[in-house]
Chains A and B, each alone.
Chain A
Amino acid sequence: MKRWIVLTLAAALFSGLAAAQVRVGIAFDAGGKNDRSFNQMAWEGAKRAKKDFGIELFDFEPNDPSQVGQGIRAFAEEGFDLVIGVGFANEPAITATAKEFKDVRFAVIDAVSPEKDNVASLVFREQEGSFLVGYIAGRLTQTGVVGFIGGMDIPLIHKFEAGYRAGVEYACKESGIQCKVLINYVGNTPQAWNDPGKAKEIAAAQVAQGADIIYHASGASGLGLIDYVKQKKCLKASELPAGVKFIRNPFKDVPKYPAYQQACKGDTRPIFFIGVDADQNYLGDTDHNPATLNHGLTSMQKRVDVAVYDVIKSVVMNNFTGGVHEFSLKNNGVAYALDEYNKALIPASVVARLEVLKQKIVKGEIKVPAGR
């Protein structure tokens, strides 16, 4: 008899748990969840939460930029526990839906919603991480010219641009060299996130102007930059424009892969990209061997995965709070990527200096600009 009671109780408890399973809907922006960047990070955070907390996870990918935001209403009408909008383009839909569905909790990434009670606005201090990767570029540039490719020309991306430029200038001042930062944007419509062909052309134009390191903040378009860098491999002395010359050779001792040695004989220097959002270093590998030269110098990691995971966790643990949540160097919300693919590229002295700079930024001794 006693056993029966225990069993019944257990069954009731389990069915109760199943009914109370947290349902999370996540809506992406135009890049889609496989952009190897921003959206993908969010998706990975959500999948990790699903594994850890056994939530039910649904996702929505817009087919074209005009559909961004449509999935949010559908999720809210279904009575989901949490609806996440990935990307600033989802903010208007989140705000409008949150006003209507007071008992549904929402989160939006990269934008601040005026709704504070049931919307968590997850924003990042991208300029801080960009400053650090800019510093790396400034310390390691072999020509004194570096590039930046933004996706859509909007204030959010200006944060990346401004931080990067400040970091490059800081490093160049320290090394006592003159540096130039080339700035390009893919476009000014949402198509700019999905046009790798255009980003590749921009990369070609920047390299023709002497840039040897190019940082992108352009979502799926950035794959065009990465493709260009891997195809071109190096800058030759004969290709340098007037007024630009090789000033240093920091990658002299890094072992090179065979195709590189063949294509880049004589007075040449390798060229690099700097990835964004996710750790994209591995995309710069050409020969499945992290030990040889890799064209991904580093990546500015924006831990969208952590932000998404945390907000799902807060709903599961029942301690969700609305309002602005800021992710910065201080709470490791942004970082520069250092892994097996680029540890040979970044000297220990630069890594040590980066830690010092990081502390200075956290303490406010270095003020990183957040816009033009």
Chain B
Amino acid sequence: MEIFSTAFLVALVAGALRQTTPLLFTALGGMFNERSGVVNIALEGIINFGALAAAVTVQLVEAPYLAHDPNARIWWIPWLGVLAAIVVGVLVAWIHAVVSIRYRADQIVSGTAVNMLSFGLPSILLLFLYGNTSDSKDVVHRILPMDAYLPFLRDFFSTPLGRILDQSPLVYLAFLLVPLTYYLLFKTPWGLRLRSVGENPEAADSLGINVFWMRYQGVLLSGVLAGLAGAYLSISELNHFTRLMAAGRGFIALAALIFGQWHPLGILGATLLFGFAEAFRILIEGTGILPSPLIQAFPFVLTMLVLAGFIGRARPPAAIGKPYEK
């Protein structure tokens, strides 16, 4: 395929948007907890738990309906899965919050513990439910690309532009969250308080802000968003949960967060860069123009170049990673 033909560009942009989505959700989530002064490397684990919750919920809820009528399609079941991913994401984030805010444990250790839990615990649940330790049954109800919801636009969705825009509603949600989180963080009193407890908790406390509560909110919000990333992976992009399906996306999102300077627009740029680099490497690798190990390294080399050359010194929130003691 010729580079920069319409077909190439459509495949590149559509693929990049899909690959950006889970990173964008997660990195925006990470922004809330880091801005409040808590490091959350548990994001990878929360994605895994969110993906598990979404797939298992959908599968269990849909089973009786499908037993009754194999062609049953009930619109709310996939959204219930999304809700379950959010709830579980918040619960898991809450563990990290309690340990690192209330008990002032080392935040890296606590995050690592949550990640390790996400490698093992799902296996036990899957064994109990499905008799194997690695994946769930396939789900029938999933969040489909837009053309399934807007059948009257089907002709539009087969044009090149339509093929780019024919994405899961969750992809749209991820991108809509960028202006929304910007507004929340920089234009509301709540956002100012959240940032203040991450920069100078003593000063914030002296002004009557409840540092602990603000930090809890930051961490729990990251659980909401990383859980959404998990639901996107298991019931929108795919149709089942498979063990460790986050496959490093939580850590790439953390890199995008730093690289994006803890700012929604920066994060958007950083995650898009990762998404495009990966989509580009997949398209180029298939054509065999360059040796594949070289191409596989491309996204990472690009990241290092950008980090070294174009972005100045990363300046994290001043009080990040330090437990607050009254």
Contact = CB atoms under 8 A, between A and B. Distances in A.
Contact of A241 (B5, B133, B296): B5
Interface in A50-103: 61, 63-64
A31 B134 contact: yes
Of residues B133, B134, B292, which shows the largest number of chain A Cβ atoms within 10 Å of its Cβ? B134
Contacts of A205: 11, 15, 279, 282-283, 286
A220 B132 CA distance: 14
B283 A61 contact: no
Interface in A314-365: none
B2 interface: yes
Interface string A240-251: 111110000000
Interface string A210-250: 10000000001001100100000000101111111000000
A61 B134 CA distance: 9
A188 B293 contact: yes
A200 B245 CA distance: 13
Contact of A242 (B2, B163, B279): B2
B132 A63 contact: no
A182 B292 contact: no
Interface string B106-140: 00000000000001100100000000111100000
A182 B295 CA distance: 14
Interface stretch (A123-131, A168-176, A189-197): A189-197
Contact of B7 (A31, A191, A224, A241): A241
B132 A34 contact: yes
A194 B8 CA distance: 27
A150 B5 CA distance: 26
A204 interface: yes
A227 B238 contact: yes
B18 to A, nearest CB: 7
Given A34-B135, A204-B15, A185 B296 contact: yes
Interface of A is mostly: mixed
Contacts of A204: 11, 14-15
B287 interface: yes
Contacts of A32: 132-135, 243
B237 interface: yes
B240 interface: yes
Given A63-B119, A182-B286, A238-B158, A200 B237 contact: yes
Interface of B is mostly: helix
Contact of B238 (A153, A183, A224, A238): A224
B7 A223 contact: no
Interface string A138-182: 000000000100000100000000000000000000000000001
A200 B8 CA distance: 17
Contact of B286 (A63, A147, A187, A236): A147
A223 B242 contact: yes
Contacts of B286: 147, 182-184, 202, 205-206, 209
Contacts of B10: 208
Contacts of B247: 191, 194-195, 197-198
Nearest to B123: A63
Nearest to A206: B286
B285 interface: yes
B288 interface: yes
Given A33-B134, A183-B285, A64 B293 contact: no
Given A63-B120, A208-B7, A209-B1, A194 B242 contact: yes
Contacts of B2: 241-243
Nearest to B7: A241
B282 A184 contact: yes
Nearest to B14: A204
B33 interface: no
B271 interface: no
A239 B282 contact: no
Contacts of A241: 1-2, 5, 7-8
Nearest to B126: A34
Contacts of A35: 134
B248 A236 contact: no
7 closest cross-chain pairs (CB), A and B = A32-B134, A208-B11, A34-B132, A241-B7, A182-B286, A195-B247, A209-B1
Interface of A: 31-35, 61, 63-64, 147, 153, 182-185, 187-188, 191, 194-198, 200-202, 204-206, 208-210, 220, 223-224, 227, 236, 238-244, 288
22 contacts: A31-B134, A34-B133, A61-B123, A153-B296, A182-B286, A184-B286, A185-B285, A185-B292, A187-B296, A195-B247, A197-B245, A208-B8, A208-B283, A220-B242, A223-B238, A223-B240, A223-B242, A227-B239, A239-B158, A240-B7, A241-B2, A241-B7
Given A31-B134, A220-B134, 9 more contacts: A153-B296, A182-B286, A182-B287, A184-B285, A205-B286, A209-B286, A209-B287, A223-B242, A242-B1
Interface of B: 1-2, 5, 7-8, 10-11, 14-15, 18-19, 22, 70, 119-120, 123, 132-135, 158, 163, 233, 237-240, 242-245, 247-248, 278-279, 282-283, 285-288, 292-293, 296
